Amino acid sequence: MQYYTYEMAHVFMHPVRLMARTLKAQVASPLNPFADLEFSKNIAAACEVFEGMTRRYGKPEFGITETKVGGLTVPVREEIVLKKTFCNLLHFDRDETVVGKRYDPKVLLIAPMSGHYATLLRSTVQELIKEHNLYITDWTDARDVPLHEGGFDLNDFIDYIIEFIQYLGPNTHVIAVCQPAVPALAAAAVMAANDDPAQPSSMTLMGGPIDTRRNPTQVNKLAEEKPISWFESNVINFVPFPNAGFGRRVYPGFIQLTGFMTMNLERHTQAHMKLFENLVKGDCDSVNAHKTFYEEYLAVMDLPAEFYLQTVKTVFQDHLLPKGEIMHHGQRIDCSAIRKTALMTVEGERDDICGLGQTEAAHDLCSNLPIDEHYYYVQPGVGHYGVFSGTRWRTEIAPRIREMIRTVQFKRRTGGTETRMPLPYHTLHADREAIVDWRAPTGAAPNGSAAG
């Protein structure tokens, strides 16, 4: 019923939005002799803020048409290389006629399936394609998938990841951002247990809820407060007609967005008040920056109900992965089976969605990895989104991931016989007694800071 109410509200608001756009066009028209009056500017600004807050935002485009490689501007083309019911594997193909044949590491970037589209990682992609052969999971809005196509749950998510890695072949490096850290780690464990020749060379988990019992956030506490039956009764809805997925049970994106907005309501309110002020002043740069962010942030997608409910129960309530009790098609997933996939975890110091230590927990689970293939980094001064976007991502985090990938690639190419290379980030000891900064001179005391 919530979904139908939401749809009807949009229908009823459509003529109101149309009137707001019409009024704005009239008062802001250069033909209006009163357009420069403060009163007219206030009306135009109010209409624009109202229209932006009440309209529906469709799926954004990545819009990445070029990148810089070795100082050269290289055209980039998006291509779908593998189609699945609930996801497309998207490749960012750089024009080799400009830059020549390159043998950059293959990277599979796993975007979160948590209400926003994969384009939320646009800045992540923009940085990675400079020096990597990049692929990304482009998840499909569940409301657009016909009911006869079947369901999608956590097991299917793991299957998709395994299939994508196998498609890309050996020497693939996986980066999972936020929610897919759990299925990515599970997929690597399944492939390791089966001695799959396509096991990824490295896996980077960024701000992921591996063990939400550590330093729980408000999001974690909300997930534990209610039984799974409450979530099924209160947030699961049927996709209304005339959408292609009519009749499918989903966790609607607008409910997820409402939760996110409520968590930081004061900040979002102030942002829109600032937008109003900037519109009145004519500060175009600030207005465009606001619109760019919110056009992405307010574009949401529906999640399959079975996937959402299983994730809540498995990851946030029962903590099956860190307990070693998670199952995949009847087979227990054992992360200690991972021996050939280097592990790096990245966390934000001020992350209020995935608390410090939750992603780091993956190192305890991958107990049979060599000591020098555990990499742990905490970025000071950033929250959840700062882990994969913004200045700190470009200047602090991405270079460390790039160096790790190339170090691991070099080690695999030489059969692991070469001496360990100095790394510009921290390596986590298996005994967890010290975090070593390999930039320190030989014999120096370990740096106990996890932040760098």
Q: For every one of its 452 residues, what pLDDT tens digit does the chain have, with 9 covering 90 and above?
A: 678 788 888 788 888 888 988 998 988 888 888 888 888 889 999 998 988 888 888 889 999 999 998 888 999 999 999 999 999 999 999 998 887 788 899 999 999 998 889 999 999 999 999 999 999 999 999 999 999 999 999 999 999 999 999 999 999 999 999 999 999 999 999 999 999 999 999 999 999 999 999 999 988 988 899 999 999 999 999 999 889 999 999 999 988 888 777 777 888 889 889 888 888 888 888 988 888 888 888 889 999 999 999 999 999 999 999 999 999 999 999 999 999 999 999 999 999 899 999 999 999 999 999 999 999 999 999 999 899 999 999 999 999 999 999 999 988 887 765 444 434 334 443 333 333 333 333 333 323 333 33
What are the DSSP calls for 219-248, one per residue?
HHHHHHHS-HHHHHHHT-EEPPTTSTTTT-
Torsion angles phi and psi, residue 389, rounded to 5: -155, 160
Any long-range contacts for 411-414 (C-beta under 8 Å, 24+ apart)? 412/171, 412/201
The secondary structure element, H or E, covering residue 289 is helix 284-297
Pairing of β 426-428 and β 435-437: antiparallel
Find out whether 165 and 137 touch, Cβ atoms under 8 Å. no
Tokens found for residue 303: 């999640």
Which pair of tokens denotes residue 418?
């070469």
Residue 416: per-residue pLDDT: 62
pTM: 0.86
Beta bridge partners of 377: 346
Task: Classify burial at 253, counting beta carbons within 10 Å of its beta carbon; exposed 0-12, middle 13-18, buried 19 or more.
Answer: buried
Query: In the block, which residue shows the tokens 């701000």?
Result: 207
Domains identified in the chain and CATH numbers = 2-56+253-301 (no CATH), 67-225+304-437 (3.40.50.1820)
DSSP secondary structure of 313-374: IIIIIS-HHHHT--EETTEE--GGG--SSEEEEEEETT-SSS-TTTTTHHHHH-TTS-GGGE
Cβ-based neighbour number of residue 113 at 10 Å? 27
3-class SS shares of the chain: helix, strand, coil, % to 5: 45, 15, 40
